[in-house]
Amino acid sequence: MPDSSETSALNTDRRFFDALRTADATALAGLLSDDFVLIDVMQGGEIPGPALVEAVRTRQIVFDAIEVVDSRERRHGNASIVTGQTRMRGRAGDQAWAVRSRYTHLYVRQRDAWRLVSAQGTQIAGS
């Protein structure tokens, strides 16, 4: 299948960040694999997909701004790795936070779409 912006994991990655920023839990859930796991950029905790979707839906976590500074995709058959850098700020409950980070997202092609399987962020020191 020829690649286009509609079918690239990089485009799906942009939609992932948009869903977080707009608190669109339905769109977010549609982008994640059934066994998705996030390694939290702030504390290194493991967050399963349903917990992330619920936290976004109930606004336990709010992303006030997400700026993708750079990103690139490396394709390996039906898997794709997207790495990049972000600046984000938001709130977890009443606690405001801001972070600059590098991230790695692993996508797999499932049911004719790219699904996010794993995401990990690493805070950039001094940010």
47: domain CATH number is: 3.10.450.50
Q: Determine the distance from the C-alpha atom of residue 5 to the mean position of all C-alpha atoms in its chain, rounded to a whole number.
A: 18
Segments forming the whole domain that contains residue 48: 9-123
In a domain, 34, yes or no: yes
Q: Is residue 2 part of a domain?
A: no
How many whole angstroms separate alpha carbon 94 and alpha carbon 113? Answer: 36
∠ at Cα 31 (28, 33), nearest 5°? Answer: 115
Residue 115 lies in a domain: yes
Characterize the bridge pairing of strands 32-39 and 46-48: antiparallel
Q: Which residues of the chain have pLDDT under 50?
A: 1-6
Specify the pLDDT at position 127: 56
Length of the chain equals 127
Beta strand pairing call for 61-76 and 46-48? unpaired
CB 41 within 8 A of CB 66: no
- The structural domain count of the chain equals 1
pTM of the model: 0.90
